[in-house]
Structure 1
Amino acid sequence: MLGVTDVHTSVLAPYAAHLRVYEPLAAYPEPDRTRWQEYVAARGPDAGSAAEPVTEAALEAQRGALAELASRTPRALPERESGRAFVRLVDGVTYVCPWSTRLRSWQALEELRESLPDALLDTVLPQPVRRRALAAQARWRAAHPDDRPWILTSRWEVPVRWFLPFGDEDRRFLPAQPARGDQPARPATLFYLTPMAQARRRVARGYRVLREQLRGTPLALGAEEVGRWLEDFHPRSLVELDYGGLVHAIGARRLAADRSAAELAQGLAALRAGDGEGAARAYEVVLERWRVIQELRYAN
């Protein structure tokens, strides 16, 4: 397909983007802190600076998910929570983002229930399997009422609201690298990384103008949703938006030109200044970019 990145690898990441929060190691209570300290000591960081992606670790997570799917007995979610995490080292501080695979599997199950017709859902996950999963979720929620995922996932698009925490200066784009000698080919990477304090300020400013000018719209409601999610984490955390496997659907040229966070910020600035037409134009540019990618979902 024209414009789609061609990458030769044993595992191709799904067409999904991820919004992650990395909390500083010191923010975790015991015994989690000691457990993550031992984990980091044994494995080291997945990214040694703010400019490095966690692509290899994300592919490792995908390989684990595929292994789960290969199970002979259908399972709606892993039997136990993952003990794995994405680890970043930035300016000498270690940040940890737990995979929370089981919790995210429950969320994916809820999305499936909402998006698939009953007949197809019963084929993918039989009713007895879903009932056991939901019963396990209820028991877990009763024991962990305040827990939340460190990672949000979106398939076939980056929701516009996810760009609110970021500025163009947070953008990191690494072009694809062909295979060289013993080094395998590396796909292009696009991600944003910013401190939590900055992310919260941007979301709060954006939400104020959206609430005043566009109350009740999907973007205004989405800004509120993102803001509430960020408030659950340590104030010295890092927030990351990773295009993940979507880079393969976007294509190299369009990926290099993608400045969605900057365009959304321009639209909000225009809206704040009373320039409704300018705001609409900027917002439509972002929407159209992701509309094209979403349409690939239904391509043969």
Structure 2
Amino acid sequence: MPNVTAVRTSVLPPYAAHLRVYEPLAAFPAAARTRWQAYAAANGPDAEGADQPVAGAALAEQREALAELAARTPRPLPEHESERAFVRVLDGVVHICPRTTRLRSWLALEELHRTLPAHLLDTVLPPAVRAAAEADRTAWRTAHPDARPWILTSRWEVPVRWFLPFGEEDRRYVPAGEGERPTPPALFYLTPMVQARRRVARGYRVLRERLPRGPLVEGAEQVGRWLEEFHPRSLVELDYGGLVHLLGPAQLAEENSVAELTAGLGALRSGDGEAALAAYETLTARWRKVLALRQAS
């Protein structure tokens, strides 16, 4: 489609997956609604229909970030919040997913605190730089107490809890496009918010009854609470992003994590613990192999 984002580049997206929520224009306050409506009209949709990915727009965002880093002294987070968004049009309705790059940068800093040893963290981001970023965030949070990201990001894997909102019928795989306007490959799931909440709630009930102390219970609760923050007529998308380049065409064709989780929950619901464990081990083994590539040189 002529208005859908397409890029020609040798830059690969980062090895990260994204969980996104696209809200209809009606969900935004009047001033923001007017701004996003003008933005969508000026820039066109990044995807039209349920079968179109936003992979081109996501890759363009990555190129913009790399260009910004090359143009000036790197900073731990952007000085101003992004005024850009991912735009989806479905059944004639415009849906907006603000990028909130600055807020997501703060969340990424929190992740670094959790995952990096102190000496490595100090090398990557000196304590004074982190302290300044945290002070900025505290002041910003005071002025925006209800702010939340429309996009969650996971590097090197898709967390099991992210599969809960989706059904196998939501799966779309789009091979890399060639020719005049090449596009990167994409694997994503897209579903209405009502369906997403219903599936998460069902999964949470089963897990709480059968595995009350398991980490999946807490994960299902986290995803459910996040989804409740958005308009009920939103769209929920799980985008494998740059992970498609780690899985490769053969593995992508066989990738069925959502179906495996659904089967595991069904077995758990019926009391078949052995089948539930087998489905869970198959699912987690796939992502352990992908995660292990993080240590490859």
TM over 0.5: yes
Match of 1:203 among 200, 205, 214: 200
Q: Secondary structure at the match of 1:251?
A: helix
| Distance of 1:188 and 1:60 partners within structure 2 | 14
Normalising to structure 1: TM-score of the pair? 0.94
1:3 aligned residue: none
Matched with 1:285 is 282
Structure 1 runs (4+) greater than 4 angstroms displaced: none
Unaligned runs of at least 5 residues, structure 2: 1-7
Q: Secondary structure at the match of 1:78?
A: coil
Q: Aligned residue for 1:22? A: 22
Alpha-carbon distance between aligned partners in 2 of 1:227 and 1:205, rounded to the nearest angstrom = 11
How far apart, in 2, do the equivalents of 1:71 and 1:78 lie?
13
- Aligned pair 1:294/2:296, yes or no? no
Percent identity between the two aligned chains: 68
| 8 A contact 1:74–1:125 mirrored in 2 | no
Residues 225-266 of structure 1 deviation map (CA, whole Å, 9 limit, x = unaligned) = 100000000000000000000000011110111111011001
Aligned to 1:220: 217
Which deviations, in whole Å up to 9, do the C-alpha atoms of 1:16-48 show, x marking residues without a partner? 000000000111002100000110110011001
Distance 1:176 1:74, change over 3 A: closer
Residue 237 (structure 1) aligned with residue 212 (structure 2): no
Shift of 1:72: 3.7
- The aligned counterpart of 2:4 is none
- Measure, in 2, the Cα distance between the counterparts of 1:50 and 1:26: 20
Amino acid at match of 1:207: Y
SS of the equivalent of 1:202 reads helix
Deviation at 1:169, TM superposition (A): 0.4
Cα deviation for residue 10 of structure 1 reads: 2.4
- Partners in 1 of 2:250 and 2:234 — Cα distance? 32
Partner of 2:41: 41
The answer for the alignment partner of 1:94 in structure 2 is 94
**Structure 2 CA distance, aligned partners of 1:114 and 1:264?**
27
Q: Distance in 2 between matches of 1:283 and 1:207?
A: 15
For 1:234 and 1:227, locate their aligned partners in 2 and report how far apart those are by CA, in whole Å. Answer: 13
In the alignment, is the contact (CA less than 8 A) between 2:56 and 2:184 conserved in 1?
no
Superposed, 1:184-199 pairs within 5 Å as 184=182, 186-199=183-196
SS in 2 for 1:70: helix
Counting matched residue pairs gives: 290
Measure, in 1, the Cα distance between the counterparts of 2:40 and 2:72. 33
Aligned equivalents of 2:58, 2:231: Cα separation in 1: 23
Matched, 1:252 2:260: no
- Give the Å deviation of 1:204: 0.1
Q: Which residue in 1 is equivalent to 2:55?
A: 55
Whole-Å Cα distance in 2 between the matches of residues 45 and 153 of structure 1?
22
SS in structure 2 at match of 1:248: helix
Residue number in structure 1 paired with 2:153: 153
Q: Match for 1:94: what amino acid?
A: V
Give 1:71 deviation, angstroms: 4.8
Task: Report the counterpart of residue 81 of structure 2 in structure 1.
Answer: 81
- Any gaps of 5 or more consecutive residues in structure 1? 1-7
| Aligned-partner SS, 1:220 | helix
Give the TM-score of the pair, scaled to structure 2.
Answer: 0.95
User: Aligned equivalents of 2:115 and 2:204: distance in 1?
Assistant: 28
Residue 65 of structure 2 is aligned to residue 68 of structure 1: no
Aligned to 1:5: none
Equivalent-residue separation in structure 2 for 1:158 and 1:93 (angstroms)? 29
Partner of 2:174: 174
| Alignment map for 1:269-284 (pairs within 5 Å) | 269-284=266-281
In the TM superposition, what is the alpha-carbon distance from 1:76 to its structure 2 partner? Answer: 0.9
Q: Offset of 1:125 from its aligned partner? A: 1.4
How many angstroms does 1:115 deviate by?
A: 1.5
Judge which range, 50-59 or 67-76, deviates more: 67-76
State how far apart, in whole Å, the 2-side matches of 1:154 and 1:172 are: 20
Q: Does 1:263 align with 2:260?
A: yes
Return the letter of the residue paired with 1:244: G
Cα separation, 1, equivalents of 2:197 and 2:120: 40
Letter in structure 2 aligned against 1:196: M
For 1:95, give the aligned amino acid.
H
1:74–1:129 Cα contact (<8 Å) kept: no
**Partner-residue secondary structure (3-state), 1:31:** helix
